[in-house]
Structure 1
């Protein structure tokens, strides 16, 4: 569950990154805002429903390629931030959670 909480924090960072890093272009601002909000919401959903843990994987992968697809790869601050945060989101969304795959066992009681 700790990985989901870290993704919530990374989502919050993405929402605030354009202001902290002073992005001058609209594409990385809007991209980070949308992906950040989506990451936070999906991570919170995965906390409540652990089987949704993979939900942030596509967002993390999109964040890695988005500077090149949207054409702001020459803006180093936004590109570096998006690629690094995208890698972290992707890896954290793939962290194995034993609660998802371990069946619940009832304690054995003797009659």
Structure 2
């Protein structure tokens, strides 16, 4: 997957030989980039050879309902083809959005 960069966000990925695809999100994800995020995560979930998608939010400053919809679309695409989909490293406001929407219970790794 190519790197998608348009201020103020970046979507990049790295695949391991074992089929793990880490998608790193950096910046702000609002309605202006919701469609791009959805496409990137659905494409990642459907990518040949991938067994699990990990979405890393370590450098994500903002997510809104459009970004939440993108995460859900990626999760549903992965589930439809029997692949894992996990969100990691949410912090601050980003984690609060995941918690309030209930997505942290479904998408985030539990301690």
Of Structure 1 and Structure 2, which has the larger fraction of its residues in helix? 1
With CA pairs under 8 Å and 6+ residues apart, which has the higher RCO, 1 or 2?
Answer: 1
TM over 0.5: no
TM-score by length of 2: 0.29
Of Structure 1 and Structure 2, which has the larger fraction of its residues in strand? 2
